[in-house]
Every structure is written in structure tokens, then in C-alpha cells.
Amino acid sequence: MTTTSTLWGGDSGRQVTCIACGETLDREDAREYDKHGDRWDREGKRFEYLCKSCHRECCQQSRDGLEEMLVAADAGRTDRGTFLRRFCESTTDNESLD
């Protein structure tokens, strides 16, 4: 019986950080977020991760603007602290528009 974790090369037990709230969680509990959208091209790619609650929020709200927001925040091209700060600032800006 092959399990999912062996299939993906022993990723189980690894910890990842949610890009939205910065929470550390088990890789198995995280939801992959691929900002490029082509999740089948895994070669040399670094996935972003969302925890369940942030993933749910992202799915409930329109994804319009989320891609731009991630790109604007330099997702994957800046250090995580800077990215998270920019991402949070973008989120806060959006909320203040209501």
C-alpha cells in the first residue's frame, strides 16, 4: 500500500509556513498555493503554503487581485519577513476600503 507521503518523497513531518499569517504547520496539513497556477510543473519550483483557515478565506473571497497582491509583494523573490509584511499591508489596505 503506497501512501501519499511516500509518493511525494518523504515530505511528511516537514514544516512549512503559511504565507498569509506566518503560522508554522505540518506540510501535510498545509494547502499548496502555487502563485503561477501551473501546479503540474513541479520541476525546481518552490511552492507557497497556506494554512487551512487562510486557504478557506482565500477561496471564499474573490481571487481577483490576489495574484497581483502576491506579485506586488514580491512573493518568492524577497525574504519571507519582507514579503509577509507587504502581504499584510496589502490585505489591510483592502479591508480599509470597505
Which range in 2-10, 14-22, 32-40, 90-98 contacts Zn ion by CB under 5 A? 14-22
Q: Measured in whole angstroms, how far is the alpha carbon of residue 17 from the centre of its chain? A: 8
Task: By CB under 5 A, name the one of 16, 18, 30, 69 that touches Zn ion.
Answer: 18
20 binds Zn ion per the rule CB under 5 A: yes
**Alpha-carbon gap, residue 86 to 26, rounded angstroms:** 24
Task: By CB under 5 A, name the one of 30, 51, 73, 75 that touches Zn ion.
Answer: 51
- What minimum distance in Å lies between the beta carbon of 83 and Zn ion? 14
Nearer to Zn ion, 6 or 61 (CB): 61
**Alpha-carbon gap, residue 91 to 30, rounded angstroms:** 21
**Alpha-carbon gap, residue 73 to 78, rounded angstroms:** 8
54 binds Zn ion per the rule CB under 5 A: yes
SS3 23: coil
69 binds Zn ion per the rule CB under 5 A: no
Contacts of 65 (CB under 8 A, 6+ apart): 94
84 binds Zn ion per the rule CB under 5 A: no
Write out the three cell numbers for 17. 509556513
Footprint of Zn ion (CB under 5 A): 18, 20-21, 23, 51, 54
